[in-house]
Amino acid sequence: MTAGLSKLGVGIIGVSPTRGWAATAHMPALRALPNYEIRALSAHSAESARAAGEAFGVRKVFSDHEQLVTQPDIDVVAVTVKVPQHRELVSAALAAGKAVYCEWPLGRDLDDARAMAALADEQGVHTVVGLQARQAPAIEFVQQLLRDGYVGEVLSTTMIGLSIPGDVVVKPNAYMLDKTNGANLLTIAFGHSLDTLNYLLGEFADLWAVSDVRRPLISIEETGEQIVKTAADQIALIGKLTSGAIASVHIREAVAAGTGFLWEINGTDGTLRITADAALPEIFPLTVAGAQGRNEPADLALPAALVSTSGVRMPRSQQISRTGHALFRTSPMPSGATK
């Protein structure tokens, strides 16, 4: 990027001064990018908005998202609230002609997602959904290795992962037990993991899948209350990719323990193995191991060029920061951008 380019003004909807993805990931990522400026924040109440503004040094704060999206100096709106509110807030920003970065999952269901996509197309604005595992340095490294023929022809791939172990969740995550809210094992852990697989290896030509709720009663940590879980805790699929490679994926939660995340890519000439502590490649650091021939995979060092030097240490922040770089490079400057 050229040093003299204009800055994009960002407004973030859903900011808490102490917790949440806006505070822990979006704020540090955006501050690490030279071509973005955080100009407005909104929260669920005036008190919370004021506290967030003071905590992050942002002057314009609102308790009404409509006020934020209509600000003339806001070019990009980041939506960082819980999934059930995405459609309302994203639609408001799109209707105001703003570019939008929305956390994944985009909506509660396919109807939500299609409605937002149609509005974005109608408005002709740029949009990004937070499938930021694609920008993880380890994933970019694996992409390079595959492109360079490290494993030869990919014959098969196997992925197994664990999201949240046990039968207890904290109260703020209780809404994730209800599948109609759209924030669950299928859309988050499985969705991010599968997107990464498809990003590197291609889409499915054919597949068969099964899901079930094997542990239907979950306790709330703070109160001990038991809640009926309707969102699946076991999801498995097997299929054939468009390349002809066979793929199998099994992501689970609510089990006592197990392998956090193990993804193996097997080819005619070698093997790649990607591991992490949980099936959340958009959050947890990834380790890459590889071997050619019949050798046992050993850890591979990421090239220095792929390691972030921005000073943003949280993996999710790094990935959002890389996504922001890509958005700036591909976006024509909106009329409200300033020097």
Instruction: Answer yes or no: do 164 and 94 share one domain.
Output: no
96 vs 11: CA distance, rounded Å: 13
Among the candidates 269, 285, 301, a domain finishes at 285
CATH of residue 181's domain is: 3.30.360.10
324: domain range? 8-132+309-330
Is the link from the previous residue into 297 a cis peptide, with omega within 30 of 0?
A: no
Percent residues over pLDDT 90 in the chain: 80
Instruction: Answer yes or no: do 17 and 109 share one domain.
Output: yes
**CA–CA distances in Å: residue 279 to residues 52, 151, 165, 276, 293:** 31, 23, 11, 7, 28
Instruction: Answer yes or no: do 85 and 12 share one domain.
Output: yes
pTM for this entry = 0.88
306 vs 311: CA distance, rounded Å: 14
- Residue 95, SS3 per DSSP: helix
In a domain? residue 298? no
Instruction: Answer yes or no: do 216 and 152 share one domain.
Output: yes
85-138 residue pLDDT tens: 999 999 999 999 999 999 999 999 999 999 999 999 999 999 999 998 998 999
CATH of residue 49's domain is: 3.40.50.720
Instruction: Answer yes or no: do 188 and 277 share one domain.
Output: yes
The residues, any chain, with a CB within 8 Å of residue 294's CB and separated by 6 or more, are: none
Instruction: Answer yes or no: do 117 and 96 share one domain.
Output: yes
Order of strands, sheet of 287-292, starting from the edge strand that comes earlier in the sequence? 204-212, 234-241, 246-252, 154-162, 261-267, 270-276, 287-292, 298-299
Using alpha carbons, select from 61, 67, 58, 54 the residue that is nearest to residue 17. Answer: 54
106 vs 282: CA distance, rounded Å: 15
Establish how many alpha carbons lie within 13 A of residue 243's alpha carbon, considering only the half-sphere containing its beta carbon: 17
160-204 residue pLDDT tens: 999 999 999 999 999 999 999 999 999 999 999 999 999 999 999
In the chain, the number of structural domains is 2
Three-point CA angle 302, 304, 310, nearest 5°: 110
Q: Please say whether the beta carbons of 302 and 138 come within 8 A.
A: yes
